[in-house]
A and B are shown apart, each in its own frame.
Chain A
Amino acid sequence: MQLSPDETLFWKYSFLKLNATIVFTWAVMFILAVGSKIITRNLSTTLERSHWQNLLEIIVTGIEKQIEEVGLSNPHKYLGFLGTLFLFVAVSTLCTIIPGFEPPTGSLSTTAALALCVFIAVPFFGIEEQGLREYLKSYVKPTFIMLPFNIISEISRTLALAVRLFGNMMSGAMIIAILLTITPFIFPIIMTVLGLLTGMVQAYIFSILAAVYIAAATRVRKAKEIKS
């Protein structure tokens, strides 16, 4: 039994390899990109619009609203990163209903890559918002002694992000695989539905946590602005 779709190799040359994770990721990317392109090809700016456009508008405005509620005052800026995180994880989960599809989020390499992106995005947005000096200062607050703890916190939360998503997705896929061998009827379907639910929750948790981390990194300056 394979724990990760990384182990399914389609092609390999030296250190370059094409495993199921990457292939399924491309599939998800294709679905997202082509689907978006097709739907947004004929967007209506009037009150009359298609159901698909409505759906996309609901999703986009919903994500934007969630970002705003977390505390990021300019959601447009973070929509690309955080929205894509959510959509990627959510669509990967949704695609598990397709037989033979293994979610790329069930690979620790993918979740690690996503967590790494968040790990880089947090200081990126933090520095962009408050400047390098102010951002670095936030690591020694409230005292200099807290510096190592803050660094450990940064690393551990990134690790937690990766492992949480991987654990949930992988366990879901594993349970379904095990149930298929024991009781091939009904139970796997129920577990798939449950997996869809947990996957959606995980997508929400992953993107919301990323938003919270970014908000925490950009909040210091705002607090100062409010004080002034």
Chain B
Amino acid sequence: MLIDWFTVIAQACNFLILVWLMKHFLYQPILHAIDEREKKIATELTNAEQKKAEAQKESDEFKHKNEKFDQERAALLSKATEEAQAERKRLLEEAQSAAAALTLKRQETLKKDEANLHQSIVRRTQQEVFAIARKTLTDLAETSLEERMINVFIRRLHEARLALTSGPMIVRTCFDLPSAQQAAIKDILGSEIDTQFETIPDLISGIELTSNGQKVAWSISDYLTLLEKGVNQDGIESSI
């Protein structure tokens, strides 16, 4: 008989004991170690995932901040550029307006100076010209010239046919009038009118008839005065 039943039972018992031994010495420790390792790995993986997520979050946050910073910087730069440009424009305008004002002022000053100088030159020239003219005419003034002048005066007076007033008349001359000429003037004016004769050297060869605010005159001094007035008027107009 190949089967020994005692051995069968003994081997069955041995096998069950072996199962128990293997459970306690092999499977449980090994499985426990594997489980522990898997847990550790899972924990490490979870931590790694968390860290990765945190790192990703921080990276995103950093990127976001960077972008925001860039935008702010660009905005600030743009604003600063605009402000600088505006300030530059304003300063430029100010400088231009100041320069223009200065130029205008300078031009005005120059014009004024020019006008003053011109006036001064004109005045001086006038004065010199008139002085020379006066001196020349004074030097040339003689009785014969006076006589001719009185004659011209009488002719003009005759031509003018003035409505003479009844008041006294004053005749001013540079030199004393000869009696013939005084009589000729009295004839023209009329004997009923009181005629007075005065001698004024400033007239420079001339005669002047004055009565109640009316005046009829012919003298080189008047011509010179008119010329002076005309020259002065031209000078003012040219300076303006």
Chain A residues packing against B (C-beta within 8 Å): 3-4, 6, 15-17, 19, 21-22, 25-26, 29, 32-33, 36-37, 40, 43-47, 53, 56-57, 60-61, 76, 79-81, 83-85, 87-88, 104, 107-110, 112-114, 116-117, 166
Contact = CB atoms under 8 A, between A and B. Distances in A.
A209 B33 CA distance: 29
A170 to B, nearest CB: 9
B17 interface: yes
Interface stretch (B21-29, B49-57, B139-147, B213-221): B21-29
B4 interface: yes
Contact of B7 (A6, A36, A87): A6
Contacts of A79: 27, 31
Nearest to B44: A47
Given A4-B2, A109-B7, A113-B11, A84 B37 contact: no
B27 A114 contact: no
Given A44-B33, A45-B33, A116 B8 contact: yes
A33 B6 contact: no
A81 B15 CA distance: 9
17 contacts: A3-B2, A17-B6, A17-B7, A22-B11, A32-B18, A32-B21, A36-B21, A40-B33, A43-B30, A45-B37, A46-B37, A57-B30, A84-B15, A109-B3, A109-B4, A109-B7, A110-B8
B19 interface: yes
Interface of B: 2-12, 14-19, 21-23, 25-27, 29-34, 36-37, 40-41
Given A25-B14, A32-B18, A43-B30, A112 B8 contact: yes
Contact of A110 (B5, B11, B30): B11
Given A36-B22, A45-B36, A45-B40, A110 B7 contact: yes
Contacts of A114: 11-12, 15
A46 B33 CA distance: 9
Given A45-B33, A109-B4, A110-B7, A29 B14 contact: yes
Q: Interface of chain A, helix or strand or loop or mixed?
A: helix
B7 A61 contact: no
A58 to B, nearest CB: 10
A60 B37 contact: no
Contacts of A117: 12, 15-16
A117 B2 CA distance: 18
Contacts of A84: 15, 18-19, 22-23
B27 A29 contact: no
Contacts of A26: 14
Contact of B21 (A29, A56, A109, A166): A29
A19 B33 contact: no
B30 A56 contact: yes
Nearest to B37: A45
A188 to B, nearest CB: 24
A33 B19 CA distance: 10
A120 to B, nearest CB: 9
Given A29-B17, A114-B15, A80 B22 contact: yes
A25 B15 CA distance: 9
Nearest to B41: A47
B31 A76 contact: yes
A80 to B, nearest CB: 4
B13 to A, nearest CB: 8
B12 A57 contact: no
A61 B34 contact: yes
A132 B26 CA distance: 32
Contacts of B25: 33, 36-37, 40
A152 to B, nearest CB: 20
B2 A33 contact: no
Contact of A80 (B3, B6, B23): B23
Given A53-B33, A84-B22, A117-B15, A60 B7 contact: no
Nearest to A104: B11
Contact of A112 (B3, B22, B29): B3
Contacts of B22: 32-33, 36, 80, 83-84, 87
